[in-house]
Amino acid sequence: MNYDIAIIGAGCIGSAIAHRLAKYELKTILLDKEADVAMGTSKANSGIIHQGYFTAKGSLKESLCLRGSQMFNELCPQLDVPFKRTGALFCATNENELKTLQGELQHSQERNVQVELIEDREKIQKLEPLLKDTVIAVLHFP
């Protein structure tokens, strides 16, 4: 059989390329040494959909993280793939770390990323009961 395009590797990148090329009238084949997609490095990653926090303002990485995060909201329903945002917490245990979180809060708000800084110990415990008592604040990305 003849193909217009052969994609080697059925991980995140190879599968994304195959998905995009499916919109065109091209004979495409996706090849991988494993029996199923995403069985190599893609399977072993942490599964975090990075929203661009703690990235340099205006950087390519920031732009790609923001767009990639948004794409999950669009693609998962189209592909009938279950997806649940569970959020992220960044903790501060001292004033220097708190200043870092405050800087990221401002940076995230400028990019319209949903985020909140929580300094109330009771609210912190309610959000994550297993955090140590030394945590004085959390930056919460829902």
Active site residue 19: no
What phi-psi label fits residue 46: left (phi over 0), alpha (psi between -120 and 50 degrees) or beta? alpha
Contacts of 44 (CB under 8 A, 6+ apart): none
Can you tell me the distance from the alpha carbon of 80 to that of 68, in angstroms, rounded to the nearest whole number?
18
Q: Quick one: which of 15, 34, 18 has its CA closest to 26?
A: 18
- Active-site residue identified among 19, 50, 107, 140: 50
Assess contact for 80 and 94: CB atoms under 8 A. no
Residues noted as catalytic: 50
